[in-house]
């Protein structure tokens, strides 16, 4: 057989575009690949996988560059980047869409919403749909329509085959169903290189959005009111609340309701009657809601650190007090604690019916900070880790799309009771652990 060659757009350190090509969303963990291949089609992906196998070169897979710990980069190896593969094909009759792995949420939303259709997904426009889906997919349509992966019908993946080969396979609920199960919440980069995803679509037109904000003095009462209300209100309403630093002096709750603004005004009364809030409600086309929640800062490369957890029972006053203390002593004004309501359609699927384990969680929680200069890194990372450890008695696990390299028991933390089955799937589809990175699913050891 003829030796494999890299095809597609290949960038090396000698090229003028290398610096831009190697940078991810997180600048705090710089890495320097020897080559980056921007695949234009599935054949380029097949060739790239063959090439790394024949040359015994370390590699990583990249789509939207939002890997929090830069697991989609590797020093001295090859990055197989699928971001140039972004075609979207809509089947209007079947209400489905086949989307290539490089399409980001901005492109997907702009295309689908022209026809009054949507997929439940995240909020940052530069995030690629594939990474979001493989980890689960939390967003502002989660409670009515479920996670992004809950709306996945089929996927195509390039996997390793034979001694040094590669092949394209499909997975759905009937064919390679164990792989399909694993890719609905098992995280990206574990089994192969996903090249396309097919989703069921939801009709959507106008929605109502809200914003309720309070000053620091209302911290405890505002969060208490939100957490007792958000996971249990009308399932057509998904919301978030961000607890900002004392310096920023803001607690802000926002959300999307699939329904009229008059009804939304009634639904958010538990928030508007708490403390002294500023309230804003508006009925808009869904595309305007998407743009409202797409905060530009989240899309831009920065020095950053994030971590997270799930909440299965409302937090006691003691935990809220601890969050307030951390935010009163935040390393900078940009530090915050973010929460999104779950429940609804997310919770109607059993924890073992997909790899996404935390179906019983009522809230997803994320710890966030960014900073300006490298000498601030230790303080900021220390703040995140101390916060996560302090809240651990009140929380459970962590979302695999909020990876944290400092979590010691990360396989159980991300996958809970689904870890054993995930390792079995790993052993079947990637028995020699070709697709590995510091927090990839470990296969069971071979005994021959």
Whether 308 and 323 map to the same domain: the answer is: yes
Question: Would 435 be classed as within a structural domain?
Answer: no
Question: Would 148 be classed as within a structural domain?
Answer: yes
Q: What is the number of structural domains in the chain? A: 3
Which positions ≥6 away from 344 have C-beta within 8 Å? Answer: 142, 143, 144, 146, 235, 238
Q: Does pLDDT of 447 surpass 70?
A: no
Mean pLDDT of 319-340: 98
- E strands, 149-226, are 152-161, 165-172, 193-200, 202-203, 206-214
Q: Does pLDDT of 132 surpass 50?
A: yes
Q: Tell me, what CATH number does 281's domain have?
A: 3.40.462.20
Question: Would 354 be classed as within a structural domain?
Answer: yes
Query: Which of 55, 81, 107 marks a domain boundary?
Result: 81
Question: Would 343 be classed as within a structural domain?
Answer: yes
Whether 254 and 219 map to the same domain: the answer is: yes
Q: Tell me, what CATH number does 178's domain have?
A: 3.30.465.10
Whether 103 and 244 map to the same domain: the answer is: no
Whether 298 and 379 map to the same domain: the answer is: yes
Question: Confidence class of residue 324 from pLDDT cuts 50, 70 and 90?
Answer: very high
Whether 259 and 389 map to the same domain: the answer is: yes
Q: Does pLDDT of 446 surpass 70?
A: no
Whether 231 and 293 map to the same domain: the answer is: yes
Question: How far, in Å, CA of 181 to CA of 354, rounded?
Answer: 5
Q: Does pLDDT of 129 surpass 90?
A: yes
Question: Would 297 be classed as within a structural domain?
Answer: yes
Q: Does pLDDT of 1 surpass 70?
A: no
Query: Which of 37, 58, 81 marks a domain boundary?
Result: 81
Question: Would 441 be classed as within a structural domain?
Answer: no
Question: Would 1 be classed as within a structural domain?
Answer: no
Q: Does pLDDT of 448 surpass 80?
A: no
Mean pLDDT of 301-316: 98
Whether 340 and 374 map to the same domain: the answer is: yes
Whether 191 and 256 map to the same domain: the answer is: no
Pairing of strands 88-91, 165-172: unpaired
Average pLDDT of every residue of the chain: 97
Whether 217 and 361 map to the same domain: the answer is: yes
Query: Which of 28, 57, 81 marks a domain boundary?
Result: 81
Q: Tell me, what CATH number does 62's domain have?
A: 3.30.43.10
Top-confidence residue, 314 or 295: 314
Q: Does pLDDT of 389 surpass 50?
A: yes
Whether 214 and 334 map to the same domain: the answer is: yes
Q: What would the two tokens of residue 426 be?
A: 């790993």
In contact, 209 and 81? CB cutoff 8 Å: no
Question: How far, in Å, CA of 353 to CA of 358, rounded?
Answer: 11
Whether 77 and 226 map to the same domain: the answer is: no
Question: Would 405 be classed as within a structural domain?
Answer: no
Position of tokens 């092949």? Answer: 167
- Domain holding 21, by residue range, is 9-81
Whether 114 and 30 map to the same domain: the answer is: no
Pairing of strands 78-81, 35-38: parallel
> What was the pLDDT predicted at 383?
98
Q: Which residues of 261-273 are buried (b: 16+ CB within 10 A; e: fewer)?
A: beebeebbeebbe
């Amino acid at each position: 057989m003829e030796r494999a060659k890299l095809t597609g757009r290949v960038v090396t350190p000698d090229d003028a575009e290398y610096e831009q090509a190697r940078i991810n969303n997180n600048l705090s963990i710089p890495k320097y690949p020897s080559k980056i291949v921007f695949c234009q089609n599935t054949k380029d992906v097949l060739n790239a996988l063959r090439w790394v196998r024949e040359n015994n070169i370390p590699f990583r897979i990249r789509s939207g560059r939002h890997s929090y710990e830069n697991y989609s980069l590797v020093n001295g190896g090859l990055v197989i980047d699928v971001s140039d593969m972004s075609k979207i094909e809509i089947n209007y009759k079947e209400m489905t869409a086949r989307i290539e792995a490089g399409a980001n949420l901005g492109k997907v939303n702009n295309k689908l919403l022209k026809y009054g259709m949507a997929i439940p997904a995240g909020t940052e426009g530069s995030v690629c749909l594939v990474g979001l889906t493989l980890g689960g997919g939390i967003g502002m349509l989660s409670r009515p329509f479920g996670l992004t992966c809950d709306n996945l019908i089929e996927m195509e993946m390039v996997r390793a085959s034979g001694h040094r080969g590669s092949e394209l396979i499909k997975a759905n609920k009937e064919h390679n169903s164990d792989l399909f199960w694993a890719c609905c919440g098992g995280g990206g980069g574990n089994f192969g290189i996903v090249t396309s995803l097919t989703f069921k679509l939801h009709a959507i037109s106008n929605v109502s959005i809200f914003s309720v904000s309070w000053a620091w003095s209302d911290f405890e009462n505002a969060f208490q009111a939100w957490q007792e209300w958000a996971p249990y209100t009308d399932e057509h309403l998904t919301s978030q609340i961000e607890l900002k630093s004392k310096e920023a002096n803001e607690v802000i709750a926002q959300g999307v309701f699939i329904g009229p603004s008059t009804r939304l005004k009634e639904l958010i009364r538990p928030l508007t009657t708490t403390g002294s809030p500023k309230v804003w409600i508006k009925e808009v086309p869904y595309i305007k809601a998407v743009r409202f929640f797409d905060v530009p800062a989240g899309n831009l490369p920065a020095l950053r650190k994030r971590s997270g957890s799930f909440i299965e029972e409302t937090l006691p006053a003691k935990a809220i007090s601890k969050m307030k203390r951390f935010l009163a002593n935040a390393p900078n004004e940009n530090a915050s604690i973010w929460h999104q309501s779950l429940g609804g359609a997310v919770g109607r699927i059993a924890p073992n019916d997909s790899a996404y384990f935390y179906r019983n969680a009522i809230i997803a929680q994320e710890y966030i900070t960014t900073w300006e200069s490298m000498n601030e890194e230790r303080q900021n990372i220390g703040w995140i880790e101390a916060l996560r450890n302090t809240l651990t008695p009140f929380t459970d696990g962590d979302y695999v799309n909020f990876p944290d390299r400092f979590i010691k028991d990360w396989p159980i933390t991300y996958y809970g009771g689904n870890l054993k089955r995930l390792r079995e799937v790993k052993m079947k589809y990637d028995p020699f652990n070709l697709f590995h990175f510091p927090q990839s699913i470990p296969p069971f050891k071979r005994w021959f």
